[in-house]
Amino acid sequence: MERRGLGSKAGIEVPVVGVGTWQTLERAASRGRGVVRDLVGEAISLGANLFDSSPMYGRAERLLGEALEGRREQALVATKIWTPSAEEGRRQAERALSWLGGHVDLYQVHNLVAWRRHLDLLEELQAAGRVGAIGLTHYSPSAFGELSEAMRDGRVQAVQVPYNPVEREVEREILPLAAELGLGVVVMRPFAEGRLLRRQPDPGQLAPLRRYGVTTWPQALLAWILSDPRCHVVIPATSRIERVRENAAGGEGPWLDDDARKLVADLATSR
């Protein structure tokens, strides 16, 4: 698993492939006791040891905390504050910190909700050593104007945005700005919430990608993202342990050149 600095200001080195937790940890938990623990353990053993969560994802933060019991130091945890209220923001942070071993490596403001207010709290927690880096997330291009304003504010070290061959709006302003400011970039929705995987290219169409270590369509999409060095970690979410393995294997490189990248984009947009 390749590792990259999460930009130049966060002071964290991250695996290029981590694990998202929206809907998937709860789905894994519904399959039986120990499934989440096995899934999280497999990701750690493969080096895909960054996990992204949020209080918006139901029981995910708590399930992640339970799955990390006894091995918290082997993982990097990113989570979020998601509320308009400063008081509730503080409660969310105290709850998450208690589940996640007292430390969050990357604490983000979810969807920019009340971001100025929550940055005060996150800076306080950072000064106390309970939070590593501070970040902002948004999923919608309609918010990228406000996101770029917040990035220039100088208080955050990372952003989390969607990027895949059918959602490329970040190429216009967010990725160049993040690179200029030295901010880390966490990529959400690599498979467009799974939509890009519903109809997959034939194995023969992927043959030119074999020399990049790509053998499956999900790996092609991850490689497409990670071939842009402005992206530091991509966080595909899955409830299936075999897909954790498949996705983690997409983090080894070598990375795609322009022609290979164009092939993946063409295959994705012709579906």
Ligand X SMILES: NC(=O)c1ccc[n+]([C@@H]2O[C@H](COP(=O)([O-])OP(=O)(O)OC[C@H]3O[C@@H](n4cnc5c(N)ncnc54)[C@H](OP(=O)(O)O)[C@@H]3O)[C@@H](O)[C@H]2O)c1
Q: Which of 46, 166, 179, 192 binds ligand X (CB under 6 A)?
A: 192
Q: Which of 62, 118, 189, 261 binds ligand X (CB under 6 A)?
A: 189
- Of residues 139 and 255, the one with the C-beta less far from ligand X: 139
Sole window of 62-70, 90-98, 127-135, 241-249 interacting with ligand X (rule: CB under 6 A) = 241-249
| 236 in contact with ligand X (CB under 6 A) | yes
| φ, ψ for residue 236, nearest 5 deg | -60, 140
Sole window of 126-134, 171-179, 234-242, 259-267 interacting with ligand X (rule: CB under 6 A) = 234-242
Taking the alpha carbons of 252, 257, 260, 265 in that order, is the dihedral positive or negative? Answer: positive
Which amino acid is located at 165 in the chain? Answer: P
Going from the C-alpha of 230 to that of each of 7, 11, 130, 185, the distances in angstroms are: 8, 16, 27, 7
Q: Cα(13)–Cα(261) distance, rounded to whole angstroms?
A: 25
| 240 in contact with ligand X (CB under 6 A) | yes
Q: Cα(122)–Cα(131) distance, rounded to whole angstroms?
A: 7
| 194 in contact with ligand X (CB under 6 A) | yes
| 24 in contact with ligand X (CB under 6 A) | yes
Burial class (CB in 10 A: 0-12, 13-18, 19+), 96: buried
Site for ligand X in 129-188 (CB under 6 A): 137, 139, 188
Do residues 160 and 188 lie in contact, with contact meaning Cβ atoms separated by under 8 Å?
yes
Taking the alpha carbons of 176, 177, 181, 183 in that order, is the dihedral positive or negative? Answer: negative
Query: H helices within 195-257, ranges in order?
Result: 203-206, 217-226, 241-248
- Of residues 102 and 194, the one with the C-beta less far from ligand X: 194
| 238 in contact with ligand X (CB under 6 A) | yes
- Of residues 29 and 121, the one with the C-beta less far from ligand X: 29
- Of residues 24 and 83, the one with the C-beta less far from ligand X: 24
Q: Which of 21, 49, 79, 126 binds ligand X (CB under 6 A)?
A: 21
Q: Which of 10, 15, 22, 75 binds ligand X (CB under 6 A)?
A: 22
Size of the residue set binding ligand X (CB under 6 A)? 26
- Of residues 258 and 265, the one with the C-beta less far from ligand X: 265
- The CA-CA-CA angle for residues 208, 212, 214, to 5°, reads 80
In whole angstroms, the minimum distance from the beta carbon of 245 to ligand X comes to 9
Alpha carbon 33 to its chain centroid, in Å, reads 25
Q: What is the DSSP letter of 254?
A: P
Residues that bind ligand X (CB under 6 A): 20-22, 24, 27, 52, 137, 139, 188-194, 197, 218, 235-240, 243, 246-247
